[in-house]
Amino acid sequence: MELIVEGYTRLKDRQSLEDLRMHRRRLAVDLKARAGFDCRSSITQVEQDIAAIEAGLETLSGPIG
- pLDDT tens for residues 11-63? 999 999 999 999 999 999 999 999 898 999 999 999 999 999 999 999 997 55
pLDDT at 64: 52
pLDDT at 65: 47
pLDDT at 3: 97
CA distances from 20 to 10, 15, 37, 63 (A): 15, 9, 25, 17
List CB contacts of 28: < 8 A, sequence separation 6 or more: 43, 46, 47, 50
pLDDT at 61: 75
List CB contacts of 44: < 8 A, sequence separation 6 or more: none
Residue, of 64 and 51, whose pLDDT is higher = 51
